[in-house]
Amino acid sequence: MGNKSLAIIKPDAMRANHFGKIIDRILTAGFKITELKIARLTLAQAETFYAVHRERPFYGELTSFMSSGPIMPIALEKDDAVTAFRDLIGATNPAEATEGTIRKEFATSVGQNAIHGSDSDENAEKEVAFFFPTRDIQDNL
């Protein structure tokens, strides 16, 4: 069981100015934020990040949405971070998300669902490295 996960506050939640409330939820749930930035993916970068989904019918919709505006990638640490964070954000489809989860409150559809969380320890490592390949200032937070 790993202690890292990658969150991405998606363009819908950024446009709606929900990122402050979402970060508060993440901190209140006991996660440590070790990296955070505002970024914007090109379509090609979104296609690379979501390459695992390239055969899915929603791949085009997903990658064009994720490159449609600013996003906020956040590297997180907590014991059993992947599972704990997926519990905090709730089901992919907000209609199925449990009361009190981030997607229940902020997501509007299965595609525009406010936030991403890594689905395995292996992907967490890859996804953190995708957005934060080097640390800019210090490595001893």
Q: Which residues of the chain form contacts with ligand CMP (CB under 6 A)?
A: 53, 58, 61-62, 92, 110-111, 113, 116
Least CB distance to ligand CMP at residue 27 (A):
21
Which residue, 56 or 135, has its beta carbon nearer to ligand CMP? 56
Rounded (10°) CA dihedral 12, 104, 9, 134: -160
Q: What is the DSSP letter of 71?
A: B
- 24 versus 96: smaller Cβ distance to ligand CMP: 96
**Residues assigned a catalytic role:** 116
* Cα separation, 74 vs 2, whole angstroms: 16
Task: Tell me how far apart the alpha carbons of residues 26 and 102 are, in angstroms, rounded to a whole number.
Answer: 9
Least CB distance from residue 81 to ligand CMP, whole Å?
15
Least Å distance between CB 50 and ligand CMP? 6
Q: How many CA atoms does the CB half-sphere of 115 hold within 13 Å? A: 31
Contact 18, 106 (CB under 8 A): yes
